Chains A and B, each alone.
Chain A
Amino acid sequence: MRLLTHNMLASNARGAVTGYPLKLQVVKWSTKEVEPNPEFLRGMLPKIDWPALVAATQALGLPELLPEAPPTDAELSAEGAAADEGSALRRLHRALLEIHIEEGALVCPDTDRCFPISRGVPNMLLHEDEVRN
């Protein structure tokens, strides 16, 4: 699971208010490089919950990866941004799409219900009596 998906996932456990963002506990993660696509990143950024993404990179022990405030459209469109490893575009790309959580857990912020991540797959399944009505 990448942080893009973490950013889109909430807990539906009974007692959850928003169930979002899920606290990330990481045991093992990896990086897989892919070619950045500026258009995708520009289109996706407005949909990203920035504080949740920053918190996730902090949980990974990468406090330097992202700035406190989201990059501007101009930064993402800057010429040469895709080729420059330190650019705002490349950092966003790395955070959203290149980091893979392999083992760990997602914890509901409201109920502390723990959803394990095993072999890259989060298990959000709830028992019938745990599901929010």
Chain B
Amino acid sequence: MAGGDSAAVSAVEGRLSELSTNSDEKGLPRRGKSLSGRTLNTAQIQLVASHPEVYEPCDDSFALVDALLSDKAQLLTLKPRLCMEIGCGSGYVITSLAIMLRQLGSGTQYLATDINQHAVETTQATLEAHGVHADVIATDIVSGLEKRLHGLVDVVVVNPPYVPTPEEEIESNGIASSWAGGINGRQVIDRILPAVRELLSERGWLYMIALEDNDPLDICHLMNEKGYASRVLLKRCTEEESLYVLKFWQDASTGTNASHAARSPRSESSWLSQLPFRSLWHKNA
């Protein structure tokens, strides 16, 4: 591939210092505890609806919401017109986003999709319990919306099914489809990314969870080829997994036609490009 690793590196704009501060979880209060400003800014766990066939808010959901919270000021400045969650599950994330951005009023509208019929109902109930609104649609990724919403969505958030599983498990109905990601956990992610690129506006942002096993660097690489820069907003290691929250945005200086610009000896990203990034990435994980 032209550009090789240096292109990928320019895509991952996150500086190493950021990686280490962002992954320091010590200062953060645990979720569910009130008192902190965070509970006012997110959905309340006790108000999140549940169903035996629907993914309950978990470490990944919390990581995504925490990353959104850390970007709250930027989101308020962006004033997104349309925000969308793909795979909304219990509704914890989209509800939290709507609460976080409440001051934007009806200037920001929310959409949420899930392939699981019980999930869309659960999301609806969670939204209602918090007095916020999103239009919820039962559909495969964004099927039915791709044409008319083309280039109109300013913020997309995704906590995809990312667990490496046998391919067949993706097709299963109900709860297994909330995590089953097929080979390398990438099979649903790799269908979501092109769909998101269709919907994102020029100024749009994608926030997505990925696991170490999903090869986040490769995901950044792929997005970079399509003109998206990226950075690691948050990294969290639990006993079972290393989670990343990646943020993507369109950047004229990235993409296959811009490999020259990406290599210009200008920014800190080109400083970064001289480092063996892949190994640093793994060391930081």
Taking CB atoms, residues of chain A closer than 8 Å to B144 are 9-12, 19, 124
Choose from B107, B115, B137 the contact partner of A5 (Cβ within 8 Å): B137
- For A49, the closest partner residue in chain B by CB is B148
The A interface is mostly helix, strand or loop, or mixed, namely loop
* Assembled-state Cα–Cα distance A126/B138 (Å): 10
Q: Would you call B143 and A12 a contact (CB within 8 A)?
A: yes
- For A44, the closest partner residue in chain B by CB is B81
Taking CB atoms, residues of chain A closer than 8 Å to B81 are 40, 43-44
Contact segment of A30-38, A56-64, A73-81: A30-38
* Assembled-state Cα–Cα distance A34/B117 (Å): 28
Check: A8 CB closer than 8 A to any chain B CB: yes
Check: B63 CB closer than 8 A to any chain A CB: no
Check: A123 CB closer than 8 A to any chain B CB: yes
Interface residues on B, range: 20 to 34
Q: Would you call A40 and B124 a contact (CB within 8 A)?
A: no
A-B pairs under 8 A by CB, number: 79
* Assembled-state Cα–Cα distance A121/B139 (Å): 10
Check: B121 CB closer than 8 A to any chain A CB: yes
Check: A1 CB closer than 8 A to any chain B CB: yes
Residue interface bits B137-151, CB-to-A below 8 A is 1, else 0: 111100111011100
Check: B105 CB closer than 8 A to any chain A CB: yes
Choose from A34, A39, A49, A124 the contact partner of B138 (Cβ within 8 Å): A124
Taking CB atoms, residues of chain B closer than 8 Å to A125 are 115, 117, 138-140
Most-contacted residue by chain B among A10, A97, A126 (CB, 10 A) = A10
- CB B13 to nearest CB in A, in angstroms, measures 28
Taking CB atoms, residues of chain A closer than 8 Å to B140 are 125-126
Taking CB atoms, residues of chain A closer than 8 Å to B137 are 1, 5, 9, 121-122, 124
- For B112, the closest partner residue in chain A by CB is A121
Interface residues of B in 112-150 (CB under 8 A from A): 115, 117, 120-121, 124, 133, 135-140, 143-145, 147-149
Binding site for A on B (CB under 8 A): 81, 105-109, 111, 115, 117, 120-121, 124, 133, 135-140, 143-145, 147-149, 152
Binding site for B on A (CB under 8 A): 1-2, 4-5, 7-12, 19-20, 32, 34-37, 39-40, 43-44, 47, 49, 93, 97, 119-126
What are the 9 A-B residue pairs with the smallest beta carbon separation, nearest first? A37-B107, A124-B139, A5-B135, A8-B148, A123-B138, A40-B107, A37-B106, A124-B144, A34-B106
